[in-house]
Homo-oligomer: A and B are copies of this chain.
Amino acid sequence: MEDQVPLSERYLKTMGRRMTPQRRLVVDILSQAEGHLDATDIYERGRRQDARLSLATVYRTLNILKEAGVVRELHLDDEHHHYELDHQDKHSHLICLSCGRVIEVDSTAFAEAAETIGQLYDFRIASAHVELTGYCADCRRKQEMTD
């Protein structure tokens, strides 16, 4: 994963915002993470590198990065949000209502549909997110066995 900081800095500058060590840290942590992290994950990892990082700053940073289109906010469960860097490979999530498992799906089909819709509605898309909720194969099998 290449360094995302310079790109993020450009986005911030565009919005009249500053790049700070804390924001750099959050972006770094998100680029090094494989999947999606929640705010506490980011906070804990951040503290290992900078003991002065506060949770409020993590939240503020995530919101700003979200508005800048750098970060995508996911609603995978009802506990709290998860965040991931918003790469252009817009992918979707299959969320099992029974076991909560999250399956990631790369989908160019969705990306293309999103593109079309954006143009149609004169809407500049910063981030696309598809949630398909339902029941995974495992849970369906278990369900059938108890019938």
Contacts and interface: CB of A to CB of B under 8 A. Distances in A.
Number of copies: 2
Interface residues of A, number: 40
Interface stretch (A21-29, A30-38, A120-128): A120-128
B130 A110 contact: yes
Contact of A123 (B103, B109, B117): B103
B127 A129 contact: no
Interface in A90-132: 92, 94, 96-98, 103, 105, 107, 109-110, 113-114, 116-118, 121-132
Interface residues of chain A: helix, strand, loop or mixed (majority): mixed
Contact of A66 (B92, B97, B117): B97
Given A123-B132, A134-B69, A109 B118 contact: no
B132 A131 contact: no
A91 B26 CA distance: 33
Contacts of A135: 123-124, 126
A75 B72 CA distance: 13
A67 B94 CA distance: 14
A130 B127 contact: no
